[in-house]
Amino acid sequence: MRNKIQVLQNEIANFAAKNHDELEALRIKYLSKKGEITTLFNDFKTVANEEKREIGQLLNELKNAAQDKIAVLKEVFDSAQTATDKSDLTRTADPIALGTRHPISIVRNEIIRIFSNLGFTIAEGPEIEDDWHVFSALNFAPEHPARDMQDTFFIEQNPDIILRSHTSSVQTRTMLNTQPPIRIICPGRVYRNEAISYRAHCFFHQVEALYVAKDVSFADLKQVLLYFAKEMFGEQTQIRLRPSYFPFTEPSAEMDISCNLCGGKGCPFCKHTGWVEILGCGMVHPNVLDNCGIDSKIYSGYALGMGIERITNLKFQVKDLRMFSENDVRFLREFEGAVNV
């Protein structure tokens, strides 16, 4: 083994490289897992015990010599490359195309801006929730269809834990931890067990608003809805409210706006009715207030909720919901001229 070590010492002392590639080849030859020096270390176990100390020292010196020689050559090559490289290292790599906000983000931020002007603040909560915050506290009956597996994603290990199907759970948590007056908006992602198609997806985005205080009336809700519609879709926008049913509000309503494509005259988009539904709303049910520790005899409130994808479709006429989550650069580039609010 002494002879092999001596031969390799002579090779390392005399080897040379012209560039990084040749230097890397030498490193692999001598120091890789199957390199010649590594092979000697593997054969060290066969050395007689009385020679192990001397041979071990020689092997360590050989390995250090190879590493030092390679490090010196690498520094020489790096210095030469730096001296000849006239590139501005502080410059952004080229070409890099500038991006734009996602259309969902554009509309979400616009909704937040409008409600912020009315004094609403943002509230957030977990996407993995329990049944009580999502359903029970919000006056959903035990047999309500929304609890069914066809609509809700349940965690198999614990059927009480679910992926939230609406951001109303954020309202529940806020009312449990905050005394009125409460004025919040709850933007976020929600999940429902639906087949993915051009008009539906298993996840989407919502913004819900909640206002709880003394003497809150349906008239207050109507004025907020009218202000939002005109700010989002234009001063000429009209609204109408239709009676509806939601477990957590009473009375409840769905709001339509005059079609922003035809101006209410009727077109295929609004099915020739002149109206397009955009959100649900209503006065917070007294049971919900009581469940969350708020005295319904003293306080009242209203709530409303909308799908951000729905509003985005109206703003930008996107006909396929799947486009929002496919990250197709060609689709996203269409929004470079949109206002990045």
Tokens read off for 88: 């501005």
User: What H or E segment, with its residue span, contains residue 300?
Assistant: strand 300-307
Q: Residue 340: which of 96, 97, 105 has the closest Cα?
A: 105
Strand bridging mode 182-191 / 121-122: parallel
Confidence of residue 83 (pLDDT cuts 50, 70, 90): low
**Higher-scoring residue by pLDDT: 94, 209:** 209
Neighbouring C-beta atoms of residue 247, cutoff 10 Å: 17
Q: Note whether 36 and 29 are within 8 A (CB).
A: yes
> Average of pLDDT values for 86-107?
75
Place of tokens 């834990």: 161
Phi, psi of 187 (to 5 degrees): -85, 145
Please choose, from the candidates 302, 313, 288, the residue with its C-alpha nearest in 3D space to the C-alpha of residue 253.
302
Between 55 and 229, residue with greater pLDDT: 229
302 compared with 163, residue with greater pLDDT: 302
State the pLDDT at residue 272.
84
Query: Which residue is associated with the tokens 């496919």?
Result: 326
Confidence of residue 82 (pLDDT cuts 50, 70, 90): low
User: What percentage of the chain carries pLDDT values higher than 70?
Assistant: 92
Lowest mean pLDDT among 50-64, 106-120, 214-228: 50-64
Q: Alpha carbon of 222 to those of 99, 252, 301: distances in Å?
A: 38, 12, 12
What is the C-alpha to C-alpha distance for residues 105 and 240, in angstroms, rounded to an integer?
27
Per-residue confidence band for 85, with pLDDT thresholds at 50, 70 and 90:
low
CB 106 within 8 A of CB 340: yes
Of the two residues 92 and 285, the one the predictor is more confident about is: 285
Query: For 148, which DSSP code?
Result: S
- What CA dihedral angle connects 221, 224, 225 and 226, to 10 degrees? 120
CA–CA gap between residue 180 and residue 298 (Å, rounded): 10
Q: Is 188 within 8 Å of 123 (Cβ atoms)?
A: no
Dist CA 288 CA 295 (whole Å): 10
User: Helix 20-31 crosses helix 52-84 at what angle (to 10 degrees)?
Assistant: 170
3-class state of residue 325 by DSSP: coil
Peptide bond into 181 cis (omega under 30): yes
DSSP state of 145: G
Residues, the chain: 341
Nearest C-alpha neighbor of 276 from the set 255, 256, 262: 256
Question: Counting beta carbons within 10 angstroms of the beta carbon of residue 246, is it exposed (0 to 12), middle (13 to 18) or buried (19 or more)?
Answer: buried
Determine the straight-line distance between the first and last CA of the chain, rounded to whole angstroms.
Answer: 73
Q: Are 300 and 68 in contact (CB under 8 A)?
A: no
Using pLDDT thresholds of 50, 70 and 90, give the confidence band for residue 81. Answer: low
Least confident of 85-99, 148-162, 179-193, 266-280: 85-99
CA distance 256 to 239: 6
Mean pLDDT over each residue of the chain, to the nearest integer:
85
* pLDDT interval class at 310 (50, 70, 90): confident
Q: What is the pLDDT of residue 254?
A: 95
